Structure 1
Amino acid sequence: MANAPIRPAAVAGFFYPGDHRVLRTQLAEMLSAAVPLESVMPPKAIIVPHAGYIYSGPVAATAYAGIAPLRDRIRRVVLLGPAHRMAVAGFALPVAQTFATPLGEVPVCQADWAELQTRPDVVADDRPHAMEHCLEVQLPFLQTVLDSFRLVPLLVGGASDQAVAEVLESLWGGPETLIVISSDLSHFHSYRDARSLDGATVDQLLRLDGPLDHEQACGATPINGLVRVARRHGLRPQLLDLRNSGDTAGPRDSVVGYTSIAFFEQVPHESRQH
């Protein structure tokens, strides 16, 4: 698409460092401190938080550190998150064909962009994306742990869980495709209450037992769609990290919860060790 618009970084210097050298250093520190995944199979999908890096970055890093071994395999990232800034009836794609961060530019997958617009509940509109942080904060992590990849960026509004599942199925792909769901957990409870609430939410997710509501997770709708598809594909969820802002960089009287969960395809019988 000639002269397609670029979606510039909106929250660089606010949610994460705006200087590329400082950003690279912070990402390297968070990723090196993350406990690596222990799994025979690579993750097909991850749930990661989307607050400022000082708050949720270390939690997100536990998922992205496990993606690093797939650097040369993953070529397409399907990235869904909730629309915080503007009401969206179903799903919003950007008109922009490139997302920019201090680390460079990420191209949108034009074939998927065009195909998604055949759905009546998908609209191409830059306005919901303009100041939205939930997708953008994932990009520097992805740019660090992957080589070149194309992005399918979708903001989820008033869509149904079933509609999200349909979209994810249509974009599922093979080993070249990673599904990323951007969501925080509970908001603005005391530290003790948040630990209890978020622990119960994660237990529910690990059982693939839905649906979540938006008090449990701001990205409940895209999460619920992923859970539906994970059950259908026999994915196995694994908890990587569960903390809140009181554990990382904030006070404990009012916290936001964060988790990283990876979803693995089952190991084929013939590859299991006997």
Structure 2
Amino acid sequence: MASASIRPPAVAGFFYPGDPRELDAMLEQLFARNSAPVPGNCPKALVVPHAGYIYSGRTAAHAFACLKPWAAQYSRVVILGPTHRVPLHGIALPACDAFATPFGVVPVDQEALAGIRAMPGVCVYDAAHAAEHSLEVQLPFLQAVLDHFKVVPLAVGKADAQTVASVIEHLWGGPETLFVLSTDLSHYHGYREAQELDRDTVRRILDLESNIEPEQACGAYPLNGLLQTAAHHAMRTQLLDQCSSGDTAGDRARVVGYCAVALFEGERNAH
């Protein structure tokens, strides 16, 4: 594979350690702090945060730990996350063949991209991926827990829920396909106010309400698409963890909220 076709890590050494040994040690610590029981079913989708690991890594680890019993099952991971660096309308696919992290190279599922490239709202736009962290920070977690997988990286700008849901449905697949939805919650409120705001947003996620606003979750556009699809499939939801930067490495004057939610195929649960 030509090196020119590999998207290099943009935030290694910043959002997470750039040295593979340090990264491995940090992930081991984050997983070791996860004392929550692993759900008895195989997740079809995860909602996870995308801040620096010192801030949201503990919460993300709660979600990715759920995959360990089924590590050999997943061979394709669709990651949807918002764009922070480049204005975008619709959904951007990368032109590269792989994404690199300190742990190595993750191949892009080119067959999957070919199948959605002509769908409404979808374009190939490498600039949306070049410096974007919301997708990248999920890859080391996935590399740590899964055996072998290809990735379908979807950078989502302003897009209605139906546009995103249509792409998700096309990629739905079977038990080999996992969806990872990358989003933080509220941004830069005081600790108590953020708790109240995020409690309502998490309730909406658990109830599969696809009307979340960007002020409630920075990944609202891809999130609403996933939640619309999840409601159509009558998926079950389980809250795994919720906190804010005020609980981890940040001060409590201006916090960012995080949650980890697992979604399962099967009979819908009631809240």
Q: TM-score scaled to structure 2, two decimals?
A: 0.96
Task: Give unmatched runs, 5+ long, in structure 1.
Answer: 269-274
CA gap of 1:166–1:78, structure 2 versus 1, over 3 A, is: same
Letter in structure 2 aligned against 1:50: H
Q: Is the 8 A contact 2:120 2:163 kept in 1?
A: no
% same residue: 54
Amino acid at match of 1:25: A
2-side partners of 1:85 and 1:196: how far apart?
Answer: 28
Partner SS, residue 133 of structure 2 = coil
Cα distance in structure 1, aligned partners of 2:143 and 2:220: 26
The residue number in structure 1 matching 2:165 is: 165
Deviation larger for 11-20 or 197-206: 197-206
* CA distance in structure 2 between the aligned counterparts of 1:89 and 1:37, rounded to whole angstroms: 39
Preserved contact between residue 165 and residue 229 of structure 1 (Cα < 8 Å): yes
Moved over 2 A (4+): 1-4, 35-40
Distance 1:226 1:37, change over 3 A: farther
Deviations 1:154-175 (A, max 9, x none): 0001211101110100000110
Deviations 1:78-103 (A, max 9, x none): 00000110011211111111000000
**Amino acid of the structure 2 residue aligned with 1:70:** W
Indicate conservation of the 8 Å contact 2:9/2:136, yes or no: yes
SS in structure 2 opposite 1:92?
A: strand
For normalisation by structure 1, the TM-score amounts to 0.95
Deviations 1:55-88 (A, max 9, x none): 0000000000011111100000000000110011
Instruction: Give the aligned partner of residue 121 of structure 1.
Output: 121
Q: Is the 8 A contact 2:240 2:262 kept in 1?
A: yes
Note if 1:213 corresponds to 2:213: yes
CA drift of 1:189 comes to 0.1
SS of 1:119's equivalent? coil
Distance across 2 between alignment mates of 1:35 and 1:233: 30
| 1:19 corresponds to 2:19 | yes
Residue 228 of structure 1 aligns with an amino acid whose one-letter code is Q
1:209: how far off? 2.1
1:178 offset after TM fit, Å? 0.3
User: Which residues of 2 match residues 130-209 of structure 1 at below 5 A?
Assistant: 130-209=130-209
Which residue in the other structure is 1:264 paired with? 264
Q: Deviations over 1:133-153 (max 9, x none)?
A: 000000000000001100000
Q: Could you say which residue in structure 2 is the equivalent of 1:72?
A: 72
CA distance 1:38–1:102, change in 2 (3 Å): closer
SS at structure 2 position matched to 1:253: coil
2: CA distance, partners of 1:14 / 1:2: 26
Please give the alpha-carbon distance, in whole angstroms, between the structure 2 residues aligned to 1:213 and 1:79: 20
Structure 2 partner of 1:93? 93
Greater Cα offset, 235-244 or 207-216 = 207-216
Secondary structure of the residue aligned to 1:230 is helix
Deviation at 1:258, TM superposition (A): 0.2
Aligned residues: CA RMSD: 1.5
The number of equivalent residue pairs is 268
SS at match of 2:257: strand
* One-letter code aligned to 1:189: H
User: Contact 1:186/1:197 (CA < 8 Å) preserved in 2?
Assistant: yes
AA aligned to 1:82 is: P
Deviation at 1:113, TM superposition (A): 1.4
1:14–1:3 distance in 2 versus 1, CA, 3 Å? closer
- Shift, 1:40, TM fit: 2.9
Unaligned runs of 5+ in 2: none
